[in-house]
Structure 1
C-alpha cells in the first residue's frame, strides 16, 4: 500500500513539473557570408539553468543539447558554408532562471538572466563585437507556462545575437588571447567617460562619449521650462534622435524614446531610471525595436568601432515590457541598455 501511495505521489510530482527546452532551431544564416566559423566559450560557473514556480508545481529550463561547445559550431555549419574570413567567438557568461517579486508588485515574476558576448578572432587577438547583459521578465498572468516562455525568449536572444554578430562593427582595441576571460577589466580602462568629470557638449555615439570627444558645432537648446527642444549643428536644426548623450554642467543626459533622461552614476557605472515600456516601443509593423544591432559590418577594417546605431538599446526588447521603473545601466563597453530586474 505504501509503495502505491509513493508511486502516486511521485506521479503527481512529475505531472506538476514542467520542462522548458531551449531548442535553438532558428536559422543563423550569415546572409552576407562574412563569417568562416562560429565557436563557443562557455564560462558559466553553474551549468544548471535553474527552476521557477509555475501555477502548479515548478518548472525547469534546459538546453535540448547541453554539449554547447559541439552544438554551436554544428548549428552554424548547418546554415552556413563558412566561406568568409571572420572567425566569430561567442562567450556565454551567465544563464539562469529564478523567481523574483518586483518592487510595487504583489505577484512573483519568472525571470531569466542572460549575459553573452561575441568577438571577432584574428590569430591570437580578440575584438569585441557586442554584449547582451539583461534580465528577461515573464508575467505569469499572460502565459500558461513560464518555463516555455522563458526558454523561447532565451532561444530568440541567442539567435538574434548571433545573427547580429555577423555584421556589427567591432571595438577598435584588441584583447590578447590570455586576457579573453577578463576582457571587461581589460577594456574598461580605456573608457574616459568613467573619469570624475565629463566634458560638456553633444555626443553622437557611444565611441565619442567613451573617448570624451563631443561633436564640434553641435549644441542643444532648451525652452523656458528647461526642457530640451531642439539640436543644432551650427545653425542647422537636426533631429534630437541623432544625439546619444548630452552633457551640460558636468551632468549627462541619455536620449531615449521619451526624451533625454538624466544619467546617474554609482560603482557599476552610469544608469538612468526608466521602464521597459518606455524604452522599447513597438514598431508600426508590430515588431520590437532592437536598435542598430542591425547596422555595421564586421568585415570592415578593424578599428571602425561601435557606432551610434548600436547604442540605442540594442537587442534588449525581449520578454514582458513591464512599466516598473528600475535602474537601467548603460553598458560601459557598448552603450546599450542593461536591465538588472
Structure 2
C-alpha cells in the first residue's frame, strides 16, 4: 500500500512539472562559406538550466537535445553544405535560469565564447556574457520568451563568429579555461600605468591604446561637449566613436553623453542602467542582441548634439555599476 501511495505522489509531482524546450534550429549558415567545422565544448559546471513559474506551475527548462556537442555539429552541418577552411570552437561556459518566486521576475545568465583553431592553437573571436531580465507584467509567457531568447542569442552569436575580428594571442587547448586571464595580459589599456589621451573610434583601438589621429573633443565655453571632430574640423558621426581619454581619465559614449569609465577589483565599469543605455528596448523584458553597438547610434548622436551630460539623466533609471567586458567592450548587466 505504501509503495502504491509513493508511486501516486511521485506521479502527481511529475505531472505538475511541465517542460519548456529550447530549440536550437535557427539558420546558422555561413553566407561567405569560410567555415569548415563548428565544434562545441560544454564547460558548464551545472548542466541543469533551472526552472520557472508559469500560471502556478513549475516549468523545467531544457534543450531539445541535451547532447549539445553532437547537436551543434549536426546543426552546423545541416545549414552549411559548402565549407571553407576555418575551424571554429564554441565554448559554452554558463546558461543558468533563476526564478524569483511570487514576483513574476526571472533572470537568465549566459556566457559563451568562440575561438578559431589554427594548427592546435586557439585564437579568441568573440564573447557574449550577460544577464537578461524578464518581467511577467511585460512578458506574460516567460518560459516561452526565455526559450526564444536563448535560441536567438546562441544562433546570432555563431553567425557573428564566422566573420568577427580575431585577436592575435594564441592559446593552447589545455589553457582554454583560463583564456580571459591570458588575453588580459596583452591588453594595453589594462596593463598600462598611463592611458593615452585622445579619441577612440572603437573598443579595439581603445584596448590597444591607439587613438584616432587628428580627432578631438569639441567643447563650448562652459566646458560641455558639443561634438567630436576630425582633422578637418568636421563633425564625426556618433556611430564612429567609442570614447575618449583626457588627463588620464577614460570616458565612454552613451545615450546620456560621455560617462567616466571607473575601475574596481571586478574590472572597468560605468555607472548607468539598462534604461539609460537601451531606452528603446527598456519595455521588451530582455535584451537579446549579441552586439550592442549599432542599436543606439541615433540616441548617442542626440546626446552629443544636445551637449548631454550626467545632469540630464533620468532620476528613475536605477543606476548601478554596469561593467564593460574586458575582451569585447560590451556591457555586462548584473541587475
In which range does the TM-score fall when normalised by the shorter chain? 0.7 to 0.9
**TM-score, structure 1 normalization:** 0.81
Task: Determine if the alignment matches structure 1 residue 40 to structure 2 residue 40.
Answer: yes
Structure 1, residues 137-182: CA drift from partner, whole Å, max 9, x if none?
1112233332222122111110110111111111122222232221
1:203-258 CA-to-partner distances (Å, cap 9, x unmatched) read 11112211222222111022344332111112232223321121122221111233
User: Is 2:48 the partner of 1:51?
Assistant: no
Aligned to 1:118: 114
Within the candidate set 195, 199, 202, 1:198 is matched to 195
The SS at the match of 2:268 is: strand
Report how many aligned residue pairs link the two structures: 311
Match of 1:318 in 2: none
> Aligned runs of 1:1-341 on 2, under 5 Å?
13-100=13-100, 107=103, 109-195=105-191, 196-234=193-231, 235-280=233-278, 282=280, 290=289, 324-341=318-335
Instruction: Write the distance in 2 (CA, Å) between the matches of 1:310 and 1:129.
Output: 21
Q: Matches of 1:311 and 1:229 in 2, distance apart?
A: 18
Does the Cα contact within 8 Å between 1:115 and 1:133 map onto a contact in 2?
A: yes
What is the alpha-carbon root mean square deviation over aligned residues?
3.0
Shift of the alpha carbon at 1:11? 6.0
SS in structure 1 of the partner of residue 30 of structure 2: coil
Question: How many Å apart are 1:21 and its aligned residue?
Answer: 1.2
Q: Closer, same or farther in 2 for the Cα pair 1:146/1:6, shift >3 Å?
A: farther
Deviation, 1:56, is 0.7
Contact kept, 8 Å, 1:206 with 1:311, in 2: the verdict is no
Q: 1:242 to 1:129 in 2, by over 3 A?
A: same
User: What does the per-residue CA deviation read over 1:31-82, in whole Å, with 9 as the maximum and x for residues that have no partner?
Assistant: 1111111000111111111123334132221111000111100011111114
Hey, what's the Cα distance between the residues in 2 that align with 1:144 and 1:16?
20
- Whether the aligned pair in 1 keeps the contact of 2:291 and 2:330 (CA below 8 Å) is no
User: Structure 2 vs 1, CA of residues 141 and 202 (structure 1 numbering), >3 Å: closer, same or farther?
Assistant: same
Other structure's SS at 1:238 match: coil
Partners of 2:156 and 2:290 within 8 A in 1? no
Secondary structure, counterpart of 1:199 in structure 2: coil
Residues 167-198 of structure 1: per-residue CA shift (max 9 Å, x gap)? 11111222222322211111110112124432
2:52, 2:59 within 8 Å by CA — same for their partners in 1?
yes
Cα pair 2:153 2:288 within 8 Å, conserved: no
- Structure 1: how far apart are the matches of 2:290 and 2:105? 26
Alignment partners' CA distance in 1, 2:168 and 2:328: 12
Which secondary structure state, in structure 1, belongs to the residue aligned with residue 163 of structure 2? coil
* Alpha-carbon spacing, 1:291–1:9, altered in 2? closer, same or farther (3 Å): closer
Residue 118 and residue 151 in structure 1: after superposition, are their counterparts in 2 closer, same or farther (change >3 A)? Answer: same
What are the ranges of 5 or more consecutive residues in structure 1 without an aligned counterpart?
Answer: 294-307, 313-321
Q: TM-score, normalised by structure 2?
A: 0.83
Gaps of 5+ in 2: 298-315
**Cα–Cα, structure 1 residues 97 and 225, in superposed 2: closer, same or farther, change >3 Å?**
farther
| Structure 1 ranges of 4+ moved more than 4 A | 1-12, 288-293, 308-312
* Higher RCO (Cα < 8 Å, 6 or more apart): 1
The offset of 1:323, in angstroms, is: 5.4
- My pick for the range that moved more, 23-32 or 236-245, is 236-245
